[in-house]
Amino acid sequence: MRNWLQKFMRGRYGVDQLSNFMVTISVILILISMVTNYSILNTAGLVVLGLSYFRIFSRDINRRYTENQKFLKSYQPIKNKLFKFKNRAKSSKDYKYFKCPNCGQELRVPRKKGRVNIKCPKCETSFVRRT
Ligand SMILES: [Zn+2]
């Protein structure tokens, strides 16, 4: 069985981050369709799943590699944003976030200090906010 699979996968692209992502998306779509009865989501999920298998078994390794690189490039900022969001949710009990009115720099200030004078470390603008 293992040998058969190894032989079958020889010269084929295999699993990468993009196909993992696509499988995850398709599972989510199918699960949502089961809960909500939107059969279009089920179809969409199966299409995405089919595409991900197409990529895994593809023999056009260069093209699949390029696709994955493109995916990683566009996915990285989203991942960073999610990470930031998660971090912020975790610390939102103790900190409040403000944007500098001058340069837009994000500033973290401890909560429950009343009105505080905040000085932007980037452009040195001062502004008063309630925390
Ligand atoms: Zn600033």
* 26 and 7 share one domain: yes
Number of domains present in the structure of the chain: 2
Is 65 found in the same domain as 96? Answer: no
CA gap 5, 14 in Å, rounded: 11
Instruction: Examine the domain organization and report whether 52 and 116 are in the same domain.
Output: no
Q: What's the gap in Å between 12 CA and the centre of ligand 1? A: 52
Asked whether the beta carbons of 37 and 14 are under 8 A apart, the reply is no
Q: Is there a single domain that holds both residue 38 and residue 98? A: no
122: CA distance to ligand 1 center in Å? Answer: 5
72 and 25 part of one domain: yes
Query: Measured in angstroms, how far is the CA atom of residue 107 from the centroid of ligand 1?
Result: 9
pLDDT at 31: 96
Is the separation of the CB atoms in 62 and 82 below 8 Å? no
| Burial class of residue 72, CB neighbours in 10 A (0-12, 13-18, 19+) | middle
CA of 101 to the centre of ligand 1 (A): 7
Distance 10 CA to ligand 1 centre (A): 55
Are residues 40 and 8 part of one domain? yes
Give residue 102's domain range.
Answer: 92-131
Say what the pLDDT of residue 74 is: 94
pLDDT tens, residue order, the chain (131 aa):
678 888 888 899 999 999 999 999 999 999 999 999 899 999 999 999 999 999 999 999 999 999 999 999 999 999 899 998 998 888 888 999 999 999 999 999 999 889 999 999 999 999 999 98
Are 125 and 101 part of one and the same domain?
yes
- Rounded to the nearest angstrom, the gap between the alpha carbon of residue 17 and the centroid of all alpha carbons in its chain is 12
Residue 1 is predicted with a pLDDT of 65
